[in-house]
Structure 1
Amino acid sequence: MDAITRLPFDADIHEFSASEPTIPEPEGQRGRRRFRTIWISDVHLGTRGCAADLLIDFLDSTDSETMYLVGDIIDGWRLKKKFYWPDTHNDIIWRIMKRAKRGTRVVYVPGNHDEMFRQYAGLNFGGVEIKRQAIHETADGRTLLVAHGDEFDAILLGHRWIAFFGDQLYHLMMRINHGVNWVRARLGKPYWSFSKVAKQKVKNAVEVISQFEHTVAAEAARRGVDGVVCGHIHHAEFRPLAGVEYYNDGDWVEGCTALVEHFDGRMEILHWVEEMAKRDASRPVLKIAA
């Protein structure tokens, strides 16, 4: 059986049968940070590199009127090679579906790793709208194109075999990263991304990222929107380019970041490891009497 058909949802695109999560949500909604809009992408469920525990913490700590899933939520490329689906990955799906059920507008824009869902564009999956691309209007009236970004990737479009080869190297790096963080967790140290540091140090990688950003921004300018939100390259960023605002919401493998819109239209990139550290530092320390 194809690995994709064994994911924890029914064949009927309108039904969902995920089991109850193994990690309970906090009781009630008090204490959650509320935003007008949240964008996340590149979760890569179905791989060992997915930082599932960190994303669960994010989902349990935030809420929004609208949530965009900007592609590569499920890694179909990896699942076709080897099926891997721990309970925590089911927990993430369950939490997203629960948001949709309780009234959050959830829009799913599939990417290249979960391109099998693009055939369902225009349909509603358990309250989740599936779209090839979307236009978001901010609270202060700006229009933002929302797209995964692979459609602007020259390497992926022109040389698909290179993309698959690069994917193999990337997952090797993720396995190294997983081992390093397994050791760090037992030493009481926070999550650290080996591949993120490597990309920042390699000149060619920086050039590829810059070229991608300029291509995406130029397309947004051509379409006459005020900005663009994408994922794909696992590099969270915000900067003005080509006369528009370029936003990349990052990923939940390396950087563990999300893009959020506040209720006044202000945009912010949340680096969740840092947000968790600030939250933990602000908690009062209980002293035990002698």
Structure 2
Amino acid sequence: MKKRIALLLLMSTLLLVPKDTNAWGLLGHRIIGQIADKYLSKKAKKEIRKLLGNESIAMASNWPDFIKSDPSFNYLNSWHYVNLPSGLSKEDVIKYLETDTIPNIYNRIKMLAVDMKNPNTSQQQKIMDLRLIIHFMGDLHQPMHTARKEDLGGNQIKLMWFNENSNLHKVWDENLIDYQQLSYTEYSNTLAFATPEQIKEWQGTSVQESIYESYQICEKLYTEIRPNDKLSYKYNFDHIGIVESQLLKGGVRLAKFLNDIFE
């Protein structure tokens, strides 16, 4: 176990290219991490600095996607999402999340938070836990990470994005954000202006409720497209506001989740 953790930490310093589609892509996760940093408590910032050193939350956010390059860590793959069938109510979703024992984004986040609060958890393990939490809290705000098992979360719904091959999952992971042609710092500086009322509302939302929000968006996205649709300017115009809202909520809620861990 110690050797595996050491190898994971070493790999985090390498510029690896993930084989699978990244959730939110590199930019999306870094935007969420950069926004979260603005809303961290002083204590949380101090404790995170002890664990990550000079590595920012934004840069740590991509680590779980980088390690997909090594098949020995495939056990983490299902931790990035939860597959939900169509037509569920809020009560149905919450019940499913609380009773499903298969590793998924919800029960793994809960497990990682408990592990981080355990005084017997080693520092190396807490570094790994922290990087995973940062990433997965971002993932659960990407609507297609609450999508359907039968089409692999939209990966099998083939589309065209400005005349390039894509799919519904990738459009929401990468294409919409990359199309704005902003760096993660430019994007986060543009978005990170939540009102006190918004912060209170969003940080009062449970992880289950946040997943249900994403699920509601996901359900609507399925109704709007057909396989092989050609998406371009109009799709961007109609949906970029949703993307940016999810990124901002993700950052604000990630900060609260970390603040609670280190309280």
Q: TM-score, normalised by structure 2?
A: 0.29
Instruction: Return the structure number with greater strand share.
Output: 1
Asked which structure has the greater CA Rg, the reply is 1
Q: What TM-score, normalized to structure 1?
A: 0.27
- Higher helix content, 1 or 2: 2
Higher relative contact order (CA 8 A, sep 6+): 2
